Structure 1
Amino acid sequence: MQKVKRNFVGENNLTRKAASFRLATEVVKSANEGTIQKVAQAARMLAEFVNNEYDLKNLAKLESNHMEDFADNLLERLDSGEISRGHATNIISALNSVFNYYYRDDLKISARGYGLNRGTRFNNTDKSISDENHQKFSEYLSDKFNASGDVRYEALRLQVELQRSAGLRFKESALLSGKELRKNNNLEIRKGTKGGQLRTIDSTEAQRKLISDIKNFRKEYNLTRSLIPDNLFFKEWSRFAYNVVKDFKRETGLKYNFHGNRHYYAQKRYKELTGHEPPVKAGFSKKNPVKEEKSFEVRLKISEELGHHRIDITSYYLGRGK
């Protein structure tokens, strides 16, 4: 049976209750009032997120990277106790029903894949950015900078190196100035953190060298606040960064997402602290269980370095062993 193409509703401002309710009424064939309300609330939540983070008002312009970031945001809210696991699962289910209706399978996300599903099951999926893909993206940014002289490309290259080196969130790394590195070599991260909560990291020599490069770059190109050029707001910077990722995929056929660098950092730290690969890298399965030693202490430390509060959240980054 051939699918009937439907135009994905995006022209309305879905942050408004009336608009989200109209969308939900169209999508929910059963006309069940409770289901309509759940779909409307989920659509409104997604619309508010992408509007706040990317200044994106039209959901027809959604990309898979936006949905990955939205899933990460749900994970952050689950970690902070703001929402329950059941609520997160319901939100994803409701949004997937919308994407099903409009045949946008590219936007669907898996609650289990992001560690948001009910129960204890977990899909050990490696979401880190490989060294090879990261190197190609870094070279892509350098080539763009050298060809155009546009400092945004070099600023973004330094930002993703910072994410990869220190496990920072996209916003945290974008807002970093270099002053966060104290004389005692502690790296104090507050800007861009959840609720402005301070997080202290014992910096490494490599991180200190990178921060020195960032400070020199900012000085050379007169960036007075952070890695974001002075004429741009964070929303504009975010939009530029995600458009670059989109261009990179179109020109090279390779996918890249910023949050994957936090996965890389967590996995690297796990290997540094334990001497072996995390379960998500070690090919864990029921037939091939991975026994972890001192798992609690290691996972707690990594969780704190990532700015989380519970160790079970690290299963999303590291997988689960026996």
Structure 2
Amino acid sequence: MICTVTFNPSLDYIVSVDDFQLGMTNRTSSELILPGGKGINVSIVLKNLGLDSTALGYAAGFTGEELIRRLTEFGVNADFIKINHGMTRINLKLKSIDGTEINGCGPDIDAEALEQLMEKIDRLQEGDVLVLAGSIPYSMPDDIYQRILERIQGRGVLTVVDATRDLLVKVLPYHPFLVKPNNHELGDIFGVKLSTREEVVPYGKKLRDMGAQNVLISMAGEGAVLIAADGQCLEAPAPKGKLVNGVGAGDSMVAGFLTGWLEEKEYAHAFCMGIAAGSASAFSENLATKDEVMQVLKQVKS
């Protein structure tokens, strides 16, 4: 069983506005609503690649109901805990001004709701996979990822963490199977600026020395680097293609890596699948399909 956790999921309202002007009434030229959240993206791409997973998290209000409905349409099992107050957040993403977003807060998560999630995680057994991805609501303890990994220690669960700063660093003593910072997030941890694949290698090795088994570093147009548990250091440039939508590319890389690892238990194949899935999503309007990933994989392995 594969489970992904998204503590603060969303409906992403993605719009284009021609000639956007501050202080004026602007009208959209295109609109799209998608389920949002890093763990959710991982679940969707896993499904596209032929692997079932259960998306865990919280849903509130009419937006929460819509989130679950849309995930079901994608074929993802959404085992969300219902929150009786607030609403699942809506994130506005303005495509015509690259990187411009307005993200909602989401509902408060109380101790009872948190324990309900922990009870779901307690069902995981040896050989299962748990993916913890993304930020957490301000109402949650900042060591929540650490608590989860501590709780499942010794069960043989394969754990993946895609988070920033302290959320990531605090889990390292629990030896997660995979962590996936990007080069900027990796640099933030150590107070340095990292721009090239060569520069990230020693810092990726530091994360492994701090406890991570495998460190996968995504670098957008620069490609990716894998510091593997068996001592390999794999790196590759980004495949050639037109960037259409960078949202979810890193999450797709996690899904691709997991798919490749579960297929062959071989790091080079998992790394190539990760790069192919991440790039295929970046080259697509939506998260990558299996056909799109396989097309890019030919380029990665050529």
TM-score grouping bracket, smaller chain normalisation: under 0.3
More helix by share: 1
User: Normalising to structure 1: TM-score of the pair?
Assistant: 0.26
Greater RCO, CA 8 A, separation 6+ = 1
Bigger Rg over Cα? 1
